[in-house]
Amino acid sequence: MQPLALYIHWPFCLAKCPYCDFNSHVRERTDVAAWKDALFADLAHEAAQTGPRTLTSIFFGGGTPSLMPPALVAALIEKAGEFWTFSPDIEITLEANPSSVEAANFAALASAGINRVSLGLQALDDASLRFLGRLHDAAEGLAALEVAQRHFRRVSFDLIYARPDHTPDLWKRELEQALALGTGHLSLYQLTIEPGTRFATLVREGKFLPLDDDNAAELFAITREITTAAGLPAYEISNHARPGEESRHNLTYWRYLDYVGIGPGAHGRRGNMATVRHRKPENFLKAVSEQGHGLSEQRPLEMREQASEAVMMGLRLAEGIAPAALAARFGLAEAELIVPAKRRFYREMGYLNDTETHLNVTEPGMAVLDGLLAELVPADLVVS
């Protein structure tokens, strides 16, 4: 039986960041007991669907899951262990804001079972943090990172680059400072103006201009060069790690393996089914009360849709995909997975490595990955 990953979404934040389009909500108070009962019920529903499986990872995402009481985190981990068998080296990650208040809970979270933390530092200077709407300053973020490194076996942190007026020299200095902090994993994201965010409104009103594509591409190239030289190469387009410190949970997504998602807005892929939970916290709680779970949608995935997702997710990875194995898995021909003419063209252009068993995107190809995928994946394979 294929192993399984578990995602648990905690939707609450102290403030909504202006770049964020994740399912996050600001509330004056939360009824922890009610949320414990609802998440337990949602967990039980998913366990009934999957049956006994081996759980390889748990990921607490958000929102800001470091705002969860450590006792609730511990209870959810314990409950998951009642439903599924934990692999001996299970990875249990929690996303955290690097505030002093939340860092004070790190020891308790480690005791609860968290063995990997992902910190949302986002920038290492105060001016950039203010622009990004973060509530911590640079000193507080670095202090929280130090606390995290004392308490957790594995630590990652996020940075957002390609901010307005972000120059190569500024990014080189910031990235070299980040690498000197000693974590084995970095998530490095280009600033994207997402629809519906505060930043989208500000751009529309002419309050600031995003960095242009050419300059952003230069920063992307710098990112790849410096992290590779430092021993944290990109194993996925935006994620960099020392060998062996890759996020096992996220690899489940990118390798298109089974995962269940519980909590508001959580998505899942299990048993050829796509699942989606109610996004708004109040609607989620109401659904659990009325139907015993938070599902807003559950639908079978056609094999062609699964194949499309598997190709597009897998080509984000440095390791790429095994086309013949995927074709066999989904009952398709390789030519139905990837447009043959485009595959040849981009191989000759140096954007693809194409061996007897694997297909992966090269460094030049990663810089234009979105456009590459749009041409490689057959239009009739993509379900809109």
Mode of pairing for the β-strands spanning 4-10 and 259-262:
parallel
- In this prediction, residue 382 carries a pLDDT of 62
Query: How far apart, in whole angstroms, are the C-alpha atoms of residue 220 and residue 227?
Result: 11
Residue pLDDT, tens place only, 323-367:
999 999 999 999 999 999 999 999 999 999 999 999 999 999 999
Give residue 100's pLDDT: 77
In this prediction, residue 2 carries a pLDDT of: 83
Domains, the chain, with CATH or none? 4-253 (3.20.20.70), 304-381 (1.10.10)
Q: In what order do the strands lie in the sheet with 185-190?
A: 234-236, 239-241, 185-190, 154-161, 116-122, 85-96, 54-62, 4-10, 259-262, 267-270, 273-277, 295-300
Triad 225, 228, 233: Cα angle to 5° = 120
Report the distance separating Cα 303 and Cα 251, nearest Å.
21
Helix (H, G, I), strand (E, B) or coil at 10: strand
Q: How confident is the model at residue 383 (pLDDT cuts 50, 70, 90)?
A: low
Share of the chain above pLDDT 70, in %: 99
Q: Please tell me the predicted confidence (pLDDT) of residue 384.
A: 47
Location of structure tokens 């997975």 = 337
Confidence at 101, pLDDT banded by 50, 70, 90:
confident
pLDDT digits (tens, 9 = 90+) for 54-84: 999 999 999 999 999 999 999 999 999 999 9
pLDDT for res 118: 97
Which phi and psi (to 5°) does residue 262 adopt?
A: -125, 160
Q: Is the pTM here over 0.85, yes or no?
A: yes
What distance in Å separates the CA atoms of residue 373 and residue 167, rounded to the nearest whole number?
28
- Burial of 131 per CB tally in 10 Å (0-12, 13-18, 19+): buried
pLDDT single digits (tens) 126-145: 999 999 999 999 999 999 99
CA distance 226 to 180: 12
Contacts for 278 with CB less than 8 Å, ≥ 6 apart: 264, 265, 284, 286, 287, 294, 295, 296
Whole-Å CA distances, 247 to 166, 170, 217, 270: 28, 28, 25, 20
Distance from C-alpha of 197 to C-alpha of 21, rounded to nearest angstrom: 6
pLDDT digits (tens, 9 = 90+) for 195-248: 999 999 999 999 999 999 999 999 999 999 999 999 999 999 999 999 999 999
Structure confidence by residue, pLDDT tens digits, 276-316: 999 999 999 999 999 999 999 999 999 999 999 999 999 99
Contacts with 145 (C-beta within 8 Å, 6 or more apart), sequence order? 98, 119, 121, 155, 157, 181, 183
Phi-psi category of residue 293: left, alpha or beta, with phi > 0 → left and psi -120 to 50 → alpha: beta
